[in-house]
Chains A and B, each alone.
Chain A
Amino acid sequence: MIKLTIDNHTFEVQPGTSVWQAAQSVGIEIPTMCYLEGTEHFTSCMICLVKDTGNGRFFASCSTPVIEGHNIITNDEETIESRKAALELLLSEHVGDCEAPCQLVCPAHMNIPLMNRLIAKGDFAKALEVVKRDIALPSTLGRICPAPCEAGCRRKQVDEAVSICLLKRYVGDEDLKCENPYQPQLELLSGKKVAIIGSGPAGLAAAYYLQQKGHQAIIFERNNQAGGELLQIDSEILPVEIIEQEVAQILATGVQIRLNETIDDTRFAELQNEFDAVVVAFGAVNEETYDFGLMTTKTGIFADKASYLTSIPNVFAVGNSLRASKLAVRSVGQGKEVATVIGNYFRTSEVKGYPERFNSKFGRLAEVEFIQYQKDSENAPRQKADRSGFTKEAAIREAKRCMHCDCRNPESCVLRELSDRYHAVQKRFQSEVRFNVEKFIHREGIVYEPAKCIKCGICVRLTRQHQEEFGFTFIGRGFDVKIGVPFNESVQKGLEKTAEIVAKACPTGALAMFNTEEQI
């Protein structure tokens, strides 16, 4: 047995064990991307560097056998920095989007591509469910949203943007029309209560998502009808029934609403005592409205940008109360976010900003790349709709125009997970020139996107292990090295036996099965 010390734990392992395995055996997790149990170590990603306290040098733990008396550090500041540096270098050449530009542009951060793909398959109920993860009022917004997402849509560069807003309206309306409209899963009641002042888009959304998390939401509305600013919109554009139906769906989750109840300074102070948290969502602040003694800015009530916490503990503010605008989708998004912030606060007693996830981004497509992205979509013009919205056929056809800009492995991607964990900044070492994106698509099997590859060689080792006739190999060397199939054979020819195996083992989104959906 060999005795060694890792992060001040001294223990024994069998000779021949790698430092990485030794750490694993005592519950110390060292991240890795290029190492895969069952294949020979390759030592390429260098994410698993650890420090030898003896000489201060770094080495790859995945491929270094333990030595008697080794004293190793895996988690000091310098080692953490090594991971960040390696990640930032990998990200600097990583040409791919974790999430599609449309989703990133959407103020409610809705998973648009996933909705599109579900519509394309005809699974409208599932599509609606995806929409409702982020947007509490899809039919309403489907009529009034200025659709910033469509400005971000890559398809716009090719011909015209995908008609996202109308697609969302379509699934929203389908849901309202059906006998068993969608009801979200509700968590058990936590016993916490939240007062929400105002029933506009922000307040409704906050209530809807808080209630789902098991926190009793009670809305205080000074008018006799819920909807706030939405009620001011021309009913030709937004019929009042749509608002009513969507509000009804929200109330169906258990949200309570107190109509005709105006909150003044005194009542506001009481609410703070009676409730575990208060959400201010009463719309734009002006001379006629109260500010309840909250700190204000030029545009409205002051609140932290990430947590929506105001100058009073337990009081949060969202929607037009922060800044007046006509962007209901933003209010809806903030309502969802504040619900998460408050939910986390109840769990941890700590107010933290809405968790922002790492997103790899590469910006505009070059014209030569259009064809690569079109491989994932159908080539049709943007579908037209009349006042009643899309027909089923038009919706499906339109949804198929989506180019699947989002990654196929957004959840399983180790690069994303680690970049998130180590707060890596993608732009830091990026140069003006990037690799061109390419997509090799086999619709019955695998999709290979070389520009997302980190050259860890796992797929090369696996295809060799399984004795593929062609397999994958390294082509070229240095910075320009690529993984590819020998003799320019097709990807499916290279992966006759191993498509699913390599797709599963790939630590990024470079290899994935065509129909993978990780966020469903």
Chain B
Amino acid sequence: MNDEKNIQQAIDLIIAEKGTAARAVIPILQAIQNTFNYLPEEALKYVCQKTEITPEQIVGVASFYSQFRMQPSGEHIIKVCVGTACHVKGASQVYDALRRHFNLTGNEETDASRKYTIEKVSCLGCCTLAPVVQIDEITYGHVGSDQVANVISDFEKQAGISGTRKGLFRNVDGSEIQGEIRIGLGSCCVASGSEDVKKAVEETIAHTGIRISLKNVGCVGMCHQVPLVEVIPKNEKPTLYAKVKPEDVPGIIASHFKPLGTFSMLKNSVYKFFESVQTDTVWDGVKQYSIDAREKQVSDFLDRQVPIATQHRGIINPLDIEEYKAHEGFIALKTCLFDLTPEKIIETIKDSGLRGRGGAGFPTGMKWDLVAYNHADVKYLICNGDEGDPGAFMDRMLLESYPYRVIEGIVIAAKAVGVTHGFFYIRAEYPLAVKRIRQALIYCRENNYLGENILGSGFSFDITIYEGAGAFVCGEETALMQSIEGQRGFPQIRPPFPALSGLWKKPTLINNTETFAQVSYIIREGSAKFSEIGSKKSKGTKVFALAGKVNRGGLIEVPMGITVRQIVEDIGGGVQNGKKFKAVQIGGPSGGCIPAELYDTPIDYESLLKVGAMMGSGGLVVLDETDCMVDIAHFFLSFTQNESCGKCTFCRIGTKRMLDILTKITTGKGTMKDLDELEYLAGWTKKGSLCGLGKSAPNPILSTLKYFHEEYIAHINGKCPSGKCQSLIKYQINDLCIGCTLCAQKCPTDAILFKPHEKHEVITDLCIKCDACRQVCPVDAVEVV
């Protein structure tokens, strides 16, 4: 009884805040889950009593979005990223290892003690740290399947002490600044430990008394080198340090700055002395970690890039509105508010040749024109930030690092098409982006870049944040609008297009985050300058998340028309570990694989479509000779199959049946007839599905069937040429074995027969192919056959 009363009280509060309209259902459910950690049925029933929401709606919605849980989860949630980059680096083996670690069987997700719940997530957006595991707020990168026990014990240690840590940051008087230290705080940096590095800097500053300002900057894009620390001493050239560890920090600082006064110096050296005694760390010196900005590989990484959406990367503090203004921020907005007519703004965008960056490449200016042309009492604008492709995190980075640029683009668009209210639709898995945008909106309102009568121009406009609830299909515009309206994310047939009848049947402008981020540049610099960049039909730049088997991964912004080779070889520094380039997967689950023989394909909308890929939202995953293309097709299809909304026959069942066939093939049970049926289903799913998700879901299959047909045949003949497909491979120990027993110690199923100092042997029947033995072997004696 007490419980019920508590629930009712909590719900009453939630409803008071979110309202009783049917469209409030998702925010209400999110609030309930935040309160109770799941959705208790009594809570949902009570909501139906107190609001316009019906049982049909609430159950339909709660069961549609994967964020919602109907059962309580464990105390901690372990999220195993199974995005593309993580997948190719063994994420599923890590997931299996975690399940074994907690003795989970069947559909169980929570361990017996109800302490941990294990979930797969499609992408945590830290592709360069793959494979990635996140436990609550702590992210672990490069996790091997043999390391899960370490990860858990480390987490328990961290969780135990986290509350006792003190923030030691001390503000420094600007006049006495000796220099500046910039620390990247994008998700990759944070995931790789930049928070700890930041704390170490703060501690060092506190102990040494060195007067330097510590500055947080957004994503620098060089995610392969994180955490990054840039030291800029006054009047000296900056030095960039890569892969910094907290224990490196005092040395880095000491090498650039002299402590003030002898007392401080003494204190500093004493502190350092005790530090090294206590922790017994041996510091290897700074040089090894520093990368000079003029060194070849860094300049290669940066030189080919053209930052427009990511302009001033690594320089501006994401939330510092003054700094944004100091870097030409809001100039374009002012121009649009005071100097340009809506027609002129749209004309400029049209002239620039900007096309939608969400993947399909519809001309942006034309879309704006359509919305502007449709006169209605109310129109809406939506910024689509529901990026959900495994292996893509451009939107997240733009929202986190350049919130004002996105907002500026939105307000300009609103002015051009005559909208007074906009929505930020941001994916549920991006809490940091939501936090930053929320804060940025507040600052914009304070500065009257939003709200009534913006800057006295007479134009009024404001934006509401709408958090997604975990459904990839909501990246599709009609499904996204259904979701804002409080419905299941079922796509709707077009026409009518949103420009005519969108949100609540009103004309609606919906653009991707990246599209909005390019607007201010075009207005400020002129359409001609923008359209000079790029290829004939694809103008400007495109942001990609470069990951996979590449030396330098990260977020890159490149001119359209650049070739795949230039990206992989020049910017990415080639394939990792000297392996051979096999293909690049572009466009995620809607895209396709471009094989080595098409290495010089230019990246623009048309060329990609021609080779059977797609711009998609911009994931670019490099694959090497050890990657199995059938497995890649299977991977993407299992993603789309899982994300299918289930509305139309071709997508709901077609993707499932294609996956059935691919599973048959990857387990060696496929036949040649299956290949024909696969192609038939792929063709009809593409032609017959209702929305873009279904229509593009077969692309990864069609492109691999086209370019890697022989690999499919090999699987049908019972062989996986790359040694990836578990059912078709065996582990074996060769003569290099030195008899160290390390593999046997790691083996979770006692499948290794061993005598110390003698060659060990794998008992195939017991082996579960978790790969732990191969990873741990010091002499590469474990091989896959």
Cα of A422 to Cα of B644 in the assembled complex, Å: 27
Is the pair B471, A477 in contact by a Cβ cutoff of 8 Å? Answer: yes
Residues of chain A at interface, number, CB under 8 A? 48
Among A47, A60, A67, A477, contact of B644 (Cβ-Cβ < 8 Å): A477
Contact indicator per residue, chain B 52-89, by CB within 8 Å of chain A (1) or not (0): 00111111100110000000000000000000000000
Q: Is B465 an interface residue (CB 8 A)?
A: no
Tell yes or no: A310 within 8 A of B by CB.
Answer: no
Q: Complex Cα distance A401/B654, Å?
A: 39
A83-94 vs B, Cβ < 8 Å mask (1 yes, 0 no) = 001100110110
Q: Min CB distance, B692 to chain A, in Å?
A: 13
- Choice from B495, B653, B688 contacting A90 with Cβ under 8 Å: B653
| CB of A472 closer than 8 Å to a CB of B | yes
Instruction: Identify which of residues 303-321 in chain A touch chain B, using a CB-to-CB cut-off of 8 Å.
Output: none
Asked if A431 and B642 sit within 8 Å, CB to CB, the answer is: no
**B649–A89 CB distance below 8 A:** yes
Task: Tell me the nearest residue of chain B to A41, going by C-beta.
Answer: B493
Say yes or no: B56 contacts A486, CB within 8 Å: yes
B641 within 8 A of A: yes
Q: State in angstroms the CA–CA spacing of A467 and B41 once bound together.
A: 21
The 8 A CB mask of A447-486 against B (1 = contact, 0 = none) is: 0000000110000100110001111111111111100001
Which residues of A sit under 8 angstroms from B655, Cβ to Cβ?
479
Least distance between A108 CB and chain B CB atoms (Å) = 35
Known contacts A43-B690, A486-B56, A487-B44: does B657 contact A92 (CB below 8 Å)?
yes
Give the distance in Å from the alpha carbon of A7 to the alpha carbon of B645 in the complex. 33
C-alpha gap A480/B660 in the complex (Å) = 14
**Are A486 and B641 closer than 8 Å at their CB atoms?**
no
A46 in the interface (beta carbon within 8 A): yes
List, in ascending order, chain A residues with CB within 8 A of B646's CB.
455, 474, 476-481
**A443 in contact (CB, < 8 A):** no
> Could you say which residues of chain B place their CB within 8 Å of the CB of A43?
492-493, 647-648, 690
Given the known interface contacts A43-B647, A85-B688, the answer about A479 and B55 at a Cβ–Cβ threshold of 8 Å is no
- Given A475-B59, A475-B63, A486-B56, A82-B643 contact (CB < 8 Å): no
Instruction: Pick the contact of A45: B649, B657, B684 (CB < 8 A).
Output: B649
Q: Which residues of B contact A473 (CB under 8 A)?
A: 55-57, 59-60
Asked if B681 CB lies within 8 Å of chain A CBs, one says yes
What is the bound-complex CA distance between A328 and B690, given in angstroms?
53
Q: Which residues of A have CB within 8 Å of B641? A: 478-479
A474 touches B493 (CB 8 A): no
Q: Given A82-B687, A473-B55: A479 and B652 within 8 A (CB)?
A: yes
Chain A positions within 8 Å of B59 at CB level: 473, 475, 486-487
Residues of chain B within 8 A of A428, CB atoms compared: 677
Across-interface contacts of A44 in B (CB, < 8 A): 647-649, 690
**Quick check: is B258 within 8 A (CB to CB) of the other chain?**
no
Question: Distance in Å from the Cβ of B717 to the closest Cβ of chain A?
Answer: 22
B56 touches A455 (CB 8 A): no
Does B712 reach chain A (CB closer than 8 Å)?
no
How far apart are the CA atoms of A479 and B658 in the complex, in Å? Answer: 12
Enumerate chain B residues within 8 angstroms of A359, measured Cβ to Cβ.
none
Contact string against A for B residues 688-715, beta-carbon threshold 8 Å, 1 for contact and 0 otherwise: 1110000000000000000000000000
Chain A minimum-CB-distance residue to B65: A477
Chain B, range 484-523, C-beta contacts under 8 Å to A: 488, 492-493, 495-496
Instruction: Tell me, rounded to whole Å, the shortest Cβ–Cβ distance linking A432 to chain B.
Output: 8
Cβ contact within 8 Å between A472 and B56 = yes
**Residue contact A65 to B495, C-beta cutoff 8 Å:** yes
Question: Contact: A487 with B45, CB < 8 Å?
Answer: yes
Tell yes or no: A383 within 8 A of B by CB: no
In angstroms, Cα B48 to Cα A468, docked, is 13
Contact A477–B56 (Cβ < 8 Å): no
B58's partner among A59, A468, A469, A486 (CB-CB below 8 A) is A486
CB-CB contacts below 8 Å: B653-668 with A: 653-657, 660
- A49, A64, A431, A477: the one contacting B488 at CB < 8 Å is A477
A 71-84 to B, binary, CB cutoff 8 A, 1 in contact else 0: 00000000001100
In the complex, per-residue mask of B270-293: 1 if CB is within 8 Å of any chain A CB, else 0: 000000000000000000000000
Q: Which of B59, B60, B647, B677 lies at the interface centre, i.e. has the most chain A CB atoms within 10 A of its CB?
A: B647
A472: B residues at CB distance < 8 A: 56
Residues of B within 8 A of A64 (CB): 493, 495
Decide: A487 and B654 in contact? CB cutoff 8 A: no
Q: How far is the CA of A488 from the CA of B244 in the complex (A)?
A: 54
Residues from chain A with Cβ under 8 Å of B645 in the complex:
477-478
Asked whether, in the complex, the Cβ of A471 is within 8 Å of the Cβ of B63, the reply is no
CB distance from A340 to the nearest CB of B (A): 34
* Separation of A477 and B647 alpha carbons in the complex (Å): 8
| Min CB gap B660→A, angstroms | 4
Instruction: Report how far A198 CA is from B130 CA in the complex, Å.
Output: 81
User: Is the C-beta of A298 less than 8 angstroms from some C-beta in chain B?
Assistant: no
Q: Would you give the 0/1 interface string for B628-656, flagging 1 where the beta carbon is closer than 8 Å to chain A?
A: 00000000000001111111111011111
Contact pick for B41, options A57, A65, A475, A487, CB 8 Å: A487
Q: Which residues of B contact A431 (CB under 8 A)?
A: 656-657, 660
Contact A479 B64 (CB under 8 A): no
Docked-complex contact B681 and A429, CB < 8 angstroms:
yes
Residues in chain B near residue A374, CB distance under 8 A: none
User: CA–CA, A377 to B649, complex, Å?
Assistant: 34
Q: Mark B213-254, 1 if CB is under 8 A from A, else 0.
A: 000000000000000000000000000000000000000000
With A46-B688, A473-B59, A477-B63 known as contacts, the answer to whether A86 contacts B650 (CB < 8 A) is: yes
Does B680 interact with chain A (Cβ within 8 Å)? Answer: yes
Cβ distance B657 to chain A, nearest Cβ, rounded Å = 4
Chain A: minimal CB distance from B577 (Å): 37
Instruction: Tell me which residues across on chain B come within 8 A of A487, comparing CB atoms.
Output: 41, 44-45, 55, 59
CA distance A90 to B649 in the complex (A): 7
Measured in the bound complex, the distance between the Cα atoms of B645 and A384 in whole Å is 53
Residues of A within 8 A of B493 (CB): 41, 43, 59-60, 63-64
Q: Shortest beta-carbon distance, A287 to chain B, in Å?
A: 47
1/0 per residue, CB under 8 A from B, across A42-66: the answer is: 1111110100000001111001110
Residues from chain B with a CB closer than 8 A to the CB of A47 are: 649
Tell me the complex Cα distance, A473–B488, Å: 11
- In the assembled complex, the Cα of A464 lies from the Cα of B22 at a distance in Å of 14
| Chain B residues within an 8 Å CB radius of A58 | 687-688
Cα distance, A59 to B644, chains bound together (Å) = 19
Question: Please, how many angstroms separate the alpha-carbon atoms of A473 and B25 in the complex?
Answer: 15
Contact partners of B681 in chain A: CB under 8 A: 85, 89, 429
Query: Nearest Cβ distance between residue A217 and chain B, in whole angstroms?
Result: 47
Evaluate contact between B680 and A85: CB separation under 8 angstroms.
yes
Query: Which of A395-428 touch B at CB < 8 Å?
Result: 428
List residues of chain A with CB within 8 A of the CB of B643. 478
Cβ–Cβ < 8 Å partners of B690 in chain A: 43-44, 46, 60
Question: A32: shortest Cβ distance to chain B, in Å?
Answer: 12
Q: Least Cβ distance of A95 to chain B in Å? A: 13
- Complex: how many Å from CA A472 to CA B57? 10
User: Would you call A471 and B649 a contact (CB within 8 A)?
Assistant: no
In Å, the complex CA distance between A86 and B57 comes to 28
Q: In the complex, which residues of chain A have a beta carbon less than 8 angstroms from the beta carbon of B60?
A: 473-475, 486
Interface members, chain A 72-123 (any B CB < 8 Å)? 81-82, 85-86, 89-90, 92-93
- Please indicate which of the listed interface residues B471, B492, B650, B680 has the most CB atoms of chain A within 10 Å of its own CB: B650
> Could you pull out 17 A-B pairs where Cβ atoms are within 8 angstroms?
A41-B493, A43-B493, A59-B493, A64-B495, A82-B688, A428-B677, A429-B677, A431-B660, A464-B54, A472-B56, A473-B57, A475-B59, A475-B63, A476-B64, A478-B643, A478-B646, A487-B59
Chain A residues in the interface with B (C-beta under 8 A): 41-47, 49, 57-60, 63-65, 67, 81-82, 85-86, 89-90, 92-93, 428-429, 431, 454-455, 460, 463-464, 468-481, 486-487
Which B residues have a C-beta under 8 Å from some C-beta of A?
A: 41, 44-45, 54-60, 63-64, 471, 488, 492-493, 495-496, 641-650, 652-657, 660, 677, 680-681, 684, 687-690
Given A477-B64, A478-B644, A486-B59, 10 extra CB contacts under 8 A? A43-B492, A44-B649, A46-B688, A49-B688, A469-B55, A477-B471, A478-B641, A478-B646, A479-B652, A487-B44
